Amino acid sequence: MTRFIFITGGVVSSLGKGLSSAALGALLQARGFKVRLRKLDPYLNVDPGTMSPYQHGEVYVTDDGAETDLDLGHYERYVGVAARRSDSVTTGRIYSTVIGRERRGEYLGATVQVIPHVTDAIKEFIQADLADEDFVLCEIGGTVGDIESLPFLEAIRQLGNELGRERVLFVHLTLVPWIASAGELKTKPTQHSAKELLGLGIQPDILLCRCERPIPPSARKKIALFCNLRESRVIPALDVDTIYAVPGAYHAEGFDREVCTHFGIAAPEPDLERWNEIVSRISKPEGRVTIAIVGKYTHLPDSYKSLAEAMTHGGIANNVGVDVDWIDSEVFEAEAEVLRQLDGVHGIIVPGGFGERGSEGKIAAARFARERRLPYFGICFGMQMAVIEAARHLAGLRGAGSTEFGPCDHPVVGLMTEWVRGNTLERRESEGDLGGTMRLGAYEAVLAPDSRVGEIYATTRISERHRHRYEVNIGYKQTLEATGMRFSGMSPDGMLPEIVELPDHPWFIGVQFHPELKSKPFDPHPLFASFVRAAVDQSRLV
Ligand code: GLN
């Protein structure tokens, strides 16, 4: 029997609902249950693929090629279950489904309305594509009180009735602010938020209260009283040093125990050994390395969420802490600036990116890493920039560039309009809609067995996630290989370069995919583990 846990948020946004959901999922999993996590987002975009990273942070890509909210990345990292397209639902997607049905006459002449047609569609999505999960945790994006999230809240209220309280639980995440001038914690915003939810017909079963200092028993009692809950159902969620300490902290406050009590299930205590282990590795590193990430959205760390996490995982694998220097590629297009900002770092990453702005700075970073023999990891756009750099400075193709930036003499990176996935030919229309037109999701690659990446992955066949329109132009393979750059990973049909490396360099690898999307704290991605290892070696040299 699948049970549903709905997580809503109140008072303010950015309280970390995604992490809270992921942490509860991890606790239930550690008790031996099979879990799945889903996100319902109230915006009208069909998916976040067309949203600017400035607005919405990273776009997380699933194996099945869905462009989703970054919270799905937290879910995967915490519970290790590969997220699917069906785990991400937006208002835009719901409405396009409903309108599609209406156009096909499927409503048989009925007046199509938010209740019941939109809410029915939401309920369908919530319950779709499930097998034998014990728990499905659904996070509702936005904050209670927003007009946009009303249909979602109405749909989960209905589900609470239809499935019964023995199969549905409502968790509400709120804020208990500390008012410095009064020297007090304030419970009123939480009371109001719970009241707002109750006004929509939802009595929260558990309140998760974010707070920067311990909530005294009197405040907890007050919240319980005013919000119509037992005290044990008011769970303090205090700030912790690392996000991977959240499951342990929630467990200590009885969160998972209260969930089990609500459903009347007697489950064994969770085994949190592996969580404790990674928390202790993160909090007691044996050394530190500094990695420069040279990108365009560096002042907004959410834009590179999975990358930042993958760096932490690489650190865990090597027992070191990784300090990241976020460097805006635009500000250091002048040579002197490159030297000043990159001096002393132990490795350089040029991450994924789009558009010409800042690209010369990224090319300069790749050159600096190549010439100084500093570990370089080029991810997607970062691989493309490294290839342009090699073409210009090693192969002497001065006009080398990417057609993403307009026509150029040597398009070493260009638009591919057709490619093969398994046995099928896929096409990209250059004039088509922008949404979902990239090479998206999991693709296999074949690695040269005697290459650096072959050694790192310890296999010759890999599957990694993609999200890009442009590809390294195979027409320049020979010219580039003649300079010493090796094409060590290719698509199975041999048409698309997936990995390039410089065998004569301590660690210089560019990958066309996004390995950061698959890295987990318990299972650091081999490329990140190896890259951080190389940075550690570098730190011993200087
Ligand atoms: N802009 C490049 C492309 O579309 C790279 C994309 C990325 O880094 N994700 O191919």
Question: How is 43-110 classified by DSSP, letter by letter?
Answer: SSSSSGGGS-HHHH-PPEE-TT--EE-THHHHHHHHH-PPP-GGGEEEHHHHHHHHHHHHHTTTTTTP
DSSP code of residue 182 = T
pLDDT score, position 74: 95
pLDDT score recorded for residue 47: 82
Nearest CA to ligand 1 atom 10: 470
Residue carrying the six token digits 């499927």: 106
- The DSSP result for 497-512, as a single string, is EEEEE-TTSSSEEEES
Provide the 3-class DSSP secondary structure of residue 40.
Answer: strand
Query: Using CA atoms, how far apart are residues 248 and 273, in angstroms rounded to an integer?
Result: 10
What percent of the chain has a predicted confidence (pLDDT) above 90?
Answer: 82
Instruction: Check pocket membership of 4 for ligand 1, CB cut-off 6 A.
Output: no
354 C-alpha vs ligand 1 centroid, how far in Å? 5
Handedness of CA 355, 360, 365, 369 (dihedral sign): positive
Element holding 208 (H helix, E strand) = strand 206-211
Cβ–ligand 1 distance for 467 under 6 Å, the answer yes
pLDDT digits (tens, 9 = 90+) for 16-29: 899 999 999 999 99
pLDDT score of 365: 94
Closest CA to 397 of 506, 473, 511, 504: 473
* pLDDT on residue 427: 66
Q: Does the structure show a pLDDT above 90 at 54?
A: no
pTM: 0.93
Asked if 513 and 504 touch (Cβ cutoff 8 Å), the reply is no
Residue 96, pLDDT above cutoff 70? yes
- Would you state the pLDDT for residue 436? 52
Residue with tokens 């999991």: 442
Higher pLDDT, 488 or 297: 488
Name 103's Cβ contacts closer than 8 Å, sequence gap at least 6.
none
Cα-to-centroid distance, 221 and ligand 1 (Å): 52
Check whether 430 has a pLDDT greater than 60.
no
Q: What's the pLDDT score for residue 297?
A: 75
Q: What is the pLDDT at residue 17?
A: 92
- Cα distance between residue 442 and residue 66, in whole Å: 10
Judge whether 192 counts as a catalytic residue: no
CB 3, CB 33: distance < 8 Å: no
Nearest atom of ligand 1 to the alpha carbon of 404? 1
Residue-wise pLDDT tens digits, 296-331? 877 777 889 999 999 999 999 999 999 999 988 887
Residue 472, H or E segment: strand 470-472
Ligand 1 atom nearest to CA at 514 = 9
Question: Would you say 188 and 209 are in contact if contact means Cβ atoms under 8 Å apart?
Answer: no
Asked whether residue 51 carries a pLDDT value surpassing 90, the answer given is no
pLDDT band at 110 (very low <50, low <70, confident <90, very high): very high
Tell me the CA distances in angstroms from 2 to 28, 36, 258, 267, 380, one per residue in order.
13, 10, 18, 15, 39
Torsion of CA 469, 475, 476, 482, to 10 degrees: 140
* Residues 33-43: tens digit of each pLDDT: 999 999 999 98
- Please, which pLDDT band fits residue 431 given cuts at 50, 70 and 90? low
Lowest mean pLDDT among 333-347, 377-391, 465-479, 483-497: 333-347
H helix or E strand, kind and range, residue 278: helix 273-283
Token digits of residue 147? 């007009």
Catalytic residue from among 380, 466, 498, 525: 380
| 381 CB within 6 A, ligand 1 | yes
Which pair of tokens denotes residue 392? 């210009």
Structure tokens belonging to residue 378: 């080029």
Average pLDDT over residues 268-275: 94
Ligand 1 within 6 A of CB of 352:
yes
In angstroms, rounded to a whole number, what is the distance separating the alpha carbons of residues 483 and 481?
A: 5
Number of H helices, E strands in the chain: 18, 25
pLDDT digits (tens, 9 = 90+) for 448-477: 999 999 999 999 999 999 999 999 999 999
Question: In whole numbers, what is the pLDDT of the chain averaged over residues?
Answer: 92
Tokens of residue 102, six digits: 């209406």
Residue 428: predicted pLDDT:
64
pLDDT per residue as tens digits for the range 160-174: 999 999 999 999 999
99 confidence band (pLDDT: 50, 70, 90): very high
Dump pLDDT digits (tens) for 229-257. Answer: 999 999 999 999 999 999 999 999 999 99
Whether 370 is in the pocket of ligand 1, judged by its Cβ within 6 Å, is no
- 380 tagged catalytic: yes
From the CB of 39, is ligand 1 less than 6 Å away? Answer: no
Q: What is the pLDDT of residue 93?
A: 94
Is residue 434 predicted with pLDDT exceeding 60? Answer: no
